[in-house]
Copies of this chain bind each other. A is one copy, B any other.
Amino acid sequence: MSDTKVYLLDGGSLVLDGFHVFWNRGPGGEIRFPVYSILIEHAEGRFLIDSGYDYDHVMKVLPFEKPQQSKAQTIPGALAELGLEPKDVGVVFNSHFHFDHCGGNKYLPHAKRICHKLEVPQTCSPEPFEVLGYSDVSFSVEAAETRGMTDQLIDGATRENTTFEGIEGDVELAKGVKLFFTPGHSIGHYNLLGEFGTRKPILFSIDAAYTQKSLETLCQASFHIDPDAGVQSMRRVKQLAEDHEADLMFSHDMENFKTYKTGTQFYR
């Protein structure tokens, strides 16, 4: 749509070892990387794609990821910078439920919630190697109850206001807001293409490719459930960027992130 605006909500940063960012390739050593959410102002409504991480959760469960997050880098804080409140978000879509993509969901009980239909069940019963990835279940009463982690829920969370509409396959969330099913990193992972009136489309790789180098070398993150599918999804990301003549934006690439528009700046 010609009046679509895309804002990147800076969500702070985390640290991982290089062997996590670049699976089996490294080199090892600490890498600090950005986390952000995507706010889409659209004729059909206001969409939030992902919601970053919760600082307290990370400090409690994964302090070794050394979170750095100001108040302005929380979902309420980032929205406030734009003169918005959480209740102004009409739809929240989660690319997947790793903790750094759903930590702000709890602030959005009024929004419609959408995700791949397998992501909530996976959060309820993660593989042993996924337990830390799916460690923030504050977005879902069902997941919190199933895993005995209801202490994470905030006041006012109910089954009703934390239930998701499950989708599958490629889906157009709104005109020109396209979700592409790209599993591997997680069982129901999506990435996102935003189309605009004038400028080139933007393809957000989300976690199919943390960084530009990841995509160039087909080196996925060490967090994955199906690395074979992960490689196919990376190839799909490349093909989508080519087919749509889209600019690529990466989810956790500090060098590139520094060149992205954030705060009150936006893409249109």
Contact = CB atoms under 8 A, between A and B. Distances in A.
Interface stretch (A21-29, A195-203, A249-257): A21-29
Given A19-B17, A19-B28, A219-B129, A228 B231 contact: no
Nearest to A217: B128
Contact of A19 (B20, B128, B132): B20
A227 B224 contact: yes
A4 interface: no
B231 A24 contact: no
B224 A222 contact: no
A220 B231 CA distance: 20
A129 B17 CA distance: 18
Given A17-B26, A24-B20, A129 B220 contact: yes
* Most chain B CB neighbours (cut-off 10 Å) among A19, A219, A224: A19
Chain multiplicity (copies): 2
Interface in A178-229: 218-220, 222-228
Contact of A222 (B24, B128, B218, B228): B24
Interface in A22-69: 23-24, 26, 28
A229 B228 CA distance: 13
Query: Which secondary structure characterizes the binding site on chain A?
Result: loop
Contact of A223 (B17, B20, B24, B127): B24
A227 B28 contact: no
Contacts of A17: 19, 26, 28
* Most chain B CB neighbours (cut-off 10 Å) among A19, A24, A28, A222: A24
A62 to B, nearest CB: 12
Contacts of A227: 127, 129, 224-227
A228 B224 CA distance: 10
19 contacts: A17-B19, A17-B28, A19-B19, A19-B20, A24-B132, A24-B222, A28-B28, A127-B227, A127-B228, A127-B231, A128-B219, A129-B218, A129-B219, A129-B220, A224-B227, A225-B228, A226-B226, A226-B228, A227-B227
Given A127-B227, A225-B227, A225-B228, 11 more contacts: A17-B19, A17-B28, A19-B20, A20-B24, A23-B222, A24-B222, A28-B28, A128-B218, A129-B218, A129-B219, A224-B227
| A-B complex: 3 closest residue pairs judged by Cβ atoms | A19-B19, A128-B218, A28-B28
